[in-house]
Amino acid sequence: MSSFQLQQFAINQSRSGMKICSDSLLFGALIPIEGAKRVLDIGAGTGILSLMQAQKSNDVGSIMPKITAVELTHAAAEEARENFDNSPWSQQLELIEQDIQSFAKQQLATKQTGYDLIICNPPFFAEQSKTASNKPLRQTARHTDTLSFEDLINSIDLLLTATGKVFILLPITALASFYQLAENNSLYLSRQMDIAESREHNAKVTVLVFSRENPKQSIRIQQLNKFQQPNVHSDAVQKLLQPFLLRYA
C-alpha cells in the first residue's frame, strides 16, 4: 500500500492514477476556505485537495463547509472515499463517483444550490504523447479525453454561484487557451500565481482564480518559488505547508 502521511490525516494512493506531488500540495494550501459554505472538488483523485480544505476550515474555526468531491474513475473514487472515511472530517466530506458533465446537468435539473468555491486540478494534456497504455488510470487523470477544457468550463458555469470563485491548477502552456474559453463563458481571471522551482527557473504551472465579476483593474500576477536552495523550501512555501507536512510539525 502506498500511503502519504500528513500531520492530521493520511492519504492512501495505491490505486489512483495520479500520486500526490508538491504542486498539488501547494495548490491545496493556497486556496482560501474562509467564508465558503459549499465547496466542490472536480476530479478529486485521492481526495487530497478536499481533505486539505476540511482541515483548514476546522483549524480556523470558521463555518464548516460541506465539501463535495466528484471523481470519474472507480478506483480513485473508492480510494478517495476511504481516505475521507478515515479522516477526522468524514461527516463534512462527500464523494460522488460520476463525470462532472452529467453531475452538473443533474444539479441544474434538480435546481440544487450552487457552489461558492470550486477547485480543480484537471487533466491538461491534449496533443502531447499519451501516457503508456498499460497505465489507463494515469492517462485518464492526465489527458483531456474524458474532460476537455470546454466541458470543464461549461460545467463550472452551471455549478458556480453568482459570487463564487474558481481555483484551477494548470500548466503555463495551457493558460492562454483556458483563459479565452473561460472569458467566452463570462468567467474572468482575477489572480494568477505562477509556481517555479526557484527564482532561477521559469514557472511551469500556475494557479488561476476566476469569478463572474469582470475585474476593473489589471490581473494580479505573482510568482511562488518552491526552493531557496536545494532541498530547502522557500520561506513562503514553508509557511503554506507548515500546517500539513510532518517535517514542519
Using CA atoms, how far residue 146 sits from 13, 125, 134, 150, 207, in Å, is: 21, 11, 17, 11, 22
Write the CATH number of the domain with boundaries 3-248: 3.40.50.150
Query: pLDDT per residue over 154-212, tens digit each?
Result: 999 999 999 999 999 999 999 999 999 999 999 999 999 999 999 999 999 999 999 99
Contacts of 101 (CB under 8 A, 6+ apart): 147, 151, 154, 155
What integer is the mean pLDDT of 101-128?
86
Cα dist. 219→148, 192, 215, 216, 222 in Å?
Answer: 25, 7, 8, 9, 10
Residue 227 · residue 234 · CB < 8 Å: yes
**Whole-model pTM?**
0.90
Q: What is the pLDDT of residues 45-90, one digit of tens each?
A: 999 999 999 999 998 766 789 999 999 999 999 999 999 999 999 9
What ranges do the domains of the chain cover? 3-248
Q: Which three cell numbers stand for residue 209?
A: 482564480
Residue with the three cell numbers 470543464: 152
Q: Which amino acid is at 101?
A: Q
